[in-house]
Structure 1
């Protein structure tokens, strides 16, 4: 979008299309393994990530029914039963304790009313109906589960994302087109912005093509960071590889936009990438449409004015990652559960850190 500084060129970035980094994702890119996923509770073949643990359909259903019904089990053998695929029905008490021991979360189970509401919301989206106003929820501090989620996402983000772009070194050289000044030929310049150099013999104009390889490098750098961030999230890695690829394809560019906003300097209206700053003016001089760049800048100004915390940026990017509405995933229920968990955590964090003035109410449209 903006002209890059004079720095060493990435050897093959001129042949890289930024979008191809996402579109050509494969099992190898995500470190896929051929090993079959195993249920952490009974050892049966796991179908995905359910209630914060990798389980089979049988243990998922058992845990859900037990929690919703509030059933109390008693073990006749001092709670020492071994839970396997063949014996998992013999002692429900030990099976339930094993579910809790492997990390299954009771607070991730949606009530029947919540499930009905989600199905209705999905139906409305499919038919293009407007969403009803969200009901007010009582504000409070973050739960232990929400704090744990923030820690997991923050650790994955900080380990894999260079939000200051200090590690971005694959810059393209900023090629400049030197032409003879019209004034040196006795012809008046048609553009007041084109001024001759001190020597009066030539002027320097930005070459629109010089910025494109740099932009490809920047885009590739950001996309690779998004992929690494996703791979650092345990419950993303627990999903089938085909679902991981679908989610990344459907969200990476949106995540990059949010990530890039973290570099925007609101006071000077520039993007600060390490030691370098880039502005809309540089982009227009390089040949990009000013109208488009101004819309991009307007978005970044509006988002930056919200004064989001780093935690809110991270939660927002994670929420985009687990948004399966426009992509096909095999574990939709698991992804929906993760998405809702992140959304509720973000809402609680906002309520906790940015409380409204007393007497004010918040509504969602």
Structure 2
């Protein structure tokens, strides 16, 4: 006897076929027991109960025997009383074993239906994710001088004469702050307007160069620009609750420094490229413009990779959810992997840029101390 009543419940993931010739409103009857049919299952119109019975019987074949000489009339009320006659009726109406899906196929179909269901549902950011995004936006607005109105003390990029030797001596006299101090209070070396290495964007005249016969190159200006942007990145990190609470409680100061050192260049690249005008091919930083010619696993030195991985995973998931919930473009599903690919490329650029900065320092030691500290090799 088939006493397994619960298994007669609807099996929603079996193969079903719908008749195109039948009217929508026409009642469907199970050809096995006469109960209300739900569609074509395994090549025959059946109810969910008989569909499930046939599937189970074929998956674990046993020799059923009829206690009533094999002439039972199967109905909705007695269909569980004789498995042999019920199975025979299933076969006689054309139900086929070959159409039964394997457990693996059923699993794949369930996952496919689940993915379709999730895509149909609107993607909504959680309260925590909304808070993270708002915090990042606020920190970005407060620490990114997008018009560069505060970038005033720098050596100009034009190639005129200037007191390079005097600048070098001043910077050598500047005490190099350690990273923990810079995290607490980031400040530009030579930030005072009275400093010999300070300069406005006005052209430096030969008579103002103290007679030094040395021409400006782009390196001093780019060094000042990079130092200025590094300052803002440090300020950005200080405004994030995850950096100030989670990191300071669970991570050592060495890990904090390693993360800042590793991410600074990439964040500078992202911010700087936000100012790129594709039409003109120029980086437009307020009154300043620049052209093309101007210019691992976890971070090296990091020890607590587990905590950092968890935070990175949370941010990556928040970014993915943000794209899915806020973007409407048909190709929005391509945006997240493109961003991840860009981050991978910038990691390689970071390593190459670090090598170049250190090589430049060996040739022309005018690189500011803060830049050297950022791009120094971690031992």
**What TM bracket, shorter-length normalisation?**
0.3 to 0.5
TM-score (ref. length: structure 2) = 0.38
Rg comparison, structure with higher value: 2
TM-score (ref. length: structure 1) = 0.40
